[in-house]
Structure 1
Amino acid sequence: MDYRPLADEIRPTTLEEVVGQRHILGENGLLRRIIEGGTIPNLIFYGPSGTGKTTVANIIARRTNRPLHRLNATTASISDIKDIMAGIGTLLAPDGVLLYLDEIQYFNKKQQQSLLEFMENGKITLIASTTENPYFYVYNAVLSRSTVFEFKPLTAEDVEPAVRRGLDCLSRRTGEAALWEEGVVSHIAAACGGDVRKAMNALELLWSGARRTAEGRRITLEDAKLAAQRSAMRYDREGDDHYDILSALQKSIRGSDPDAALHYLARLLVAGDLVSACRRIMVTACEDVGLAYPQAISIVKACVDAANMVGLPEARIPLADAVILLATAPKSNAGEAAIDAAMADVKAGRTGDYPRHLQNKHADSAGQEREQGYLYPHNFPHHWVKQQYLPDALVGRTYYHYGENKTEQAAKRYWEEIKDKR
């Protein structure tokens, strides 16, 4: 008998059997009502792998009695779609077909636009799936003709029934009873990271290595932990997860929540992405702590250097120190706001000539030297003297506004006292 993956063998055939996705497939879920209504629009399913997107497409095909053609955008071309079109109207597909296009984000703009002519005449109903945000990766013309449904990651509680079905299926397949220690099912369900396919792969691995006894195959919790280790990580250095974790790390530090910041740092480090973690922590030190605690930048730089020197797993220690320091430090984005305002003026053409007394006097041609009029601040009390520094067109422009933290307010008082006296 040909081998059939367990994930495919236990694939649900009804909406009631689909795990999770109650927000769209529950009793009053919109997608459920659309499917039960029988008139299927063009659909885009967006969400992590292993959450039921292909399963629901199969159920739709059975409900509507229309042939389902599957293509993967990583290998398919428009000619493949044209081949499908050639069969429409024949006895094989008198009422059109459903086209399930997986990973639509890998179709370029021209390929996605070519889909439109097939979508317009109604002979092809497109069900596209993507693990990336469709509003970033699917072109507007396709989006405007489709309804987007988000498939959310499954919880461990959602996955447990699928794990039990998988064990029952393996038992029937081999004619041996499935015997598992307490905690095996819940551990696999939790460790798969909301991906039923990962859970089924772990089960097949466990089953093939399970100890055979007179009563059946025995699966231990220790073996389950080995088979499912690290599989809970959802992380793609080129995908949305990469940027979402980095964003969550920085926002947690900015929000002064060290526990959340450590969680997202841990996810990066477990995935082995030391480079991205170091870069984002360094940026956060400058952007979100900055002038409120200027020493943090040099301290974090030392932590980052230490992490890169020792590598993982030891790198986790200096990076944890850096994250906790930043999360518990006072915050200021005054520096970032100031440079952004200055760059906005420059980009808008608000510049003007340098004041004469700021120009490089050595640039004057020999014999054409001019009086510069520059006042050297170190020759004056408190090393400050009033003179114009901004171009004439920008005199009076203020970019930097002191933050409310202790460090910047101390600097503000210092300079106000000196400048007011003059």
Structure 2
Amino acid sequence: MDEPEALFETSPGNDPPRGGLSSGSLTGVSHASAPLAVRMRPRTLDELVGQAQLRAEGSPLRRLVEGDQPMSLLLWGPPGTGKTTIASILSQQTDRRFVEISAVAAGVKEVRAAIDAARRELARGGSETVLFVDEVHRFSKAQQDALLPGVENRWVTLVAATTENPFFSVISPLLSRSLLLRLESLTDDDVRRVIESALTDERGLAGEVRLADDARDHLVRLAGGDARRSLTYLEAAAGAARDKGLDEIDLATAETAVDQAAVRYDRQGDQHYDVTSAFIKSVRGSDADAALHYLARMMEAGEDPRFIARRLVILASEDIGLADPTALTTAVAAAQAVQLIGMPEAGLNLAQATIALAVAPKSNAVTTAIGAASADVRAGKIGSVPPHLRDAHYSGAKKLGHGKTYTYSHDEPYGIAEQQYAPDVVADAEYYRPTSLGAEAAVKERWERIRRIIRGG
């Protein structure tokens, strides 16, 4: 019977037809016309670049691979971090058949066909099967349900990969039956190791061309922590250099090959800090146009989008606060979008958040409030918690006077009780001083009324 188009199978030593990632290849499959990322796919866990937490001695993944345990895996991480590679390594090192299903093209029929084939193979005493499902979050609930019999009966060792949070995108029965491993984005140094290996390894470019330092930095920036992308760009640049008769890939050749100009932006040097500082100060200064310029410079240079998102989340409280209470929600939503969607599409989310925060009314009252409170604490103004606020639920607490005179706020007019909350040493402190800007103007009016009631003013 013909296999469905969306289902691919290789023998234990073979490589799946899908383009690979990370920094190595599987024996017996690479050929001269195979993509560089496929030829350089790792063959063992020790060849895998990055993911030190997964490769450590005694780690669950290493025990699974080296101990040949029948356990299903759920791999969660950004593109190009090693998900397909780990599935291939597991298949090869445990001498199991490798079958891949793409969640983009496969349906319930293809899932059941793969599991039935694995069960028949086991019944006739053949090899166990590693069933790799890429982008499992794209499967419907019915399609994910179809995987359960194979996992429960261990007819297959399921390795499912996702770039989205599996707690939202994968059904609970499948999640509970799988070992969840979180993969992290590769660092720039990791990507450099991937590129260096590909330049010299016999499976890769075998020393045919050299790579100039500025061209290497350009490829690393554009890769954005994605090993597969870095190898794709390197292969294109090497091809362009050969066409020109060059034995070194210079920056101009690398730029032309990947059709994207290098942005003069050193992520580890002054430019990184200068551009980041200008970006934050432009948002703080309410200049949306300038902020978008610096945002574009960072994105085009391959800055980690999570870094940009984190800065916006901080700014939402540091420079806007309650002047626009939706600012923090907007920034956090953009940060989550970066995790769920990835670049380049998440650039739209970062741009929306940047504009929203730039045009929002500004207030640093939150920043000064926590700063003043922390200063008092560091100065030793601690004091005892007032007795009426102390925990009164355990045996003997009331004998100590805990909670004895506490007034339940909901029993009072306006839901606010006149009583002391702060320790004596800071009983009169006024940390939060809201401004009259934006929505904080209403907060200021309400807070001043509340403070007077609480303190009996």
Q: Same fold (TM over 0.5)?
A: yes
- Rounded to whole Å, the distance in 2 between the matches of 1:212 and 1:111 is 47
Shift in alpha-carbon separation, 1:89–1:247, aligned structure 2, 3 A: same
Counterpart of 1:331 in structure 2 is: 366
* 1:246–1:277 CA contact under 8 A, matched in 2: no
Shift in alpha-carbon separation, 1:253–1:225, aligned structure 2, 3 A: farther
Counterpart of 2:254 in structure 1 is: 224
After alignment, is 154-163 or 126-135 more displaced? Answer: 154-163
- Rounded to whole Å, the distance in 2 between the matches of 1:117 and 1:132 is 24
* 2:74–2:178 CA contact under 8 A, matched in 1: yes
Shift in alpha-carbon separation, 1:107–1:14, aligned structure 2, 3 A: same
- Rounded to whole Å, the distance in 2 between the matches of 1:129 and 1:105 is 8
Which among 68, 82, 85 is matched to residue 98 of structure 2? 68
Give secondary structure in 1 for the equivalent of 2:158. strand
Residues 1:250 and 2:268 are matched in the alignment: no
Counterpart of 1:52 in structure 2 is: 82
Residues 1:160 and 2:192 are matched in the alignment: yes
Shift in alpha-carbon separation, 1:234–1:129, aligned structure 2, 3 A: farther
- Rounded to whole Å, the distance in 2 between the matches of 1:63 and 1:176 is 29
Amino acid at match of 2:215: V
Residues 1:203 and 2:237 are matched in the alignment: no
Counterpart of 2:134 in structure 1 is: 102
Residues 1:29 and 2:59 are matched in the alignment: yes
The 5 A counterparts of 1:233-248 are: none
- Rounded to whole Å, the distance in 2 between the matches of 1:140 and 1:24 is 23
Counterpart of 2:113 in structure 1 is: 83
The superposition leaves residues 136-189 of structure 1 with CA deviations (integer Å, 9 ceiling, x where unpaired) of 11111101100100111111111222102222359976x883133234334423
Counterpart of 2:151 in structure 1 is: 119
- Rounded to whole Å, the distance in 1 between the matches of 2:227 and 2:444 is 57
Amino acid at match of 2:175: L
Give secondary structure in 2 for the equivalent of 1:331. helix
Unaligned runs of 5+ in 1: 236-240, 285-299, 305-321, 335-392, 418-422
Residues 1:405 and 2:436 are matched in the alignment: no
TM-score (norm 2): 0.56
Amino acid at match of 2:80: G
Amino acid at match of 2:239: S
1:53 shift after superposition: 0.9
- Rounded to whole Å, the distance in 1 between the matches of 2:451 and 2:190 is 62
Amino acid at match of 1:200: L
- Rounded to whole Å, the distance in 1 between the matches of 2:67 and 2:207 is 42
1:42 shift after superposition: 0.7
Amino acid at match of 1:17: E
- Rounded to whole Å, the distance in 2 between the matches of 1:269 and 1:101 is 22
- Rounded to whole Å, the distance in 1 between the matches of 2:244 and 2:355 is 52
* 2:210–2:248 CA contact under 8 A, matched in 1: yes
Which among 387, 409, 414 is matched to residue 396 of structure 1? 414
* 1:73–1:104 CA contact under 8 A, matched in 2: yes
The superposition leaves residues 169-225 of structure 1 with CA deviations (integer Å, 9 ceiling, x where unpaired) of 59976x8831332343344234311101110111122112216677x5221134335
1:74 shift after superposition: 1.3
- Rounded to whole Å, the distance in 2 between the matches of 1:222 and 1:257 is 43
- Rounded to whole Å, the distance in 2 between the matches of 1:192 and 1:166 is 15
Shift in alpha-carbon separation, 1:233–1:181, aligned structure 2, 3 A: closer
Amino acid at match of 1:137: S
Please say which structure displays the higher CA radius of gyration.
1
After alignment, is 198-207 or 269-278 more displaced? Answer: 269-278
Shift in alpha-carbon separation, 1:192–1:274, aligned structure 2, 3 A: closer
* 2:39–2:203 CA contact under 8 A, matched in 1: no
Shift in alpha-carbon separation, 1:37–1:252, aligned structure 2, 3 A: farther
1:271 shift after superposition: 6.4
Shift in alpha-carbon separation, 1:20–1:273, aligned structure 2, 3 A: closer
Which among 161, 164, 168 is matched to residue 129 of structure 1? 161
Give secondary structure in 2 for the equivalent of 1:111. helix
1:65 shift after superposition: 1.2
Amino acid at match of 1:80: E
- Rounded to whole Å, the distance in 1 between the matches of 2:101 and 2:44 is 22
Counterpart of 2:49 in structure 1 is: 19
Residues 1:182 and 2:213 are matched in the alignment: yes
- Rounded to whole Å, the distance in 2 between the matches of 1:3 and 1:126 is 30
Unaligned runs of 5+ in 2: 1-30, 263-299, 322-330, 370-410, 418-429, 436-442, 453-457
- Rounded to whole Å, the distance in 2 between the matches of 1:95 and 1:211 is 44
1:77 shift after superposition: 1.1
- Rounded to whole Å, the distance in 1 between the matches of 2:348 and 2:64 is 45
1:32 shift after superposition: 1.2
* 2:223–2:229 CA contact under 8 A, matched in 1: yes
Shift in alpha-carbon separation, 1:95–1:278, aligned structure 2, 3 A: closer
1:26 shift after superposition: 2.5
- Alignment RMSD (CA, Å): 4.5
After alignment, is 202-211 or 105-114 more displaced? Answer: 202-211
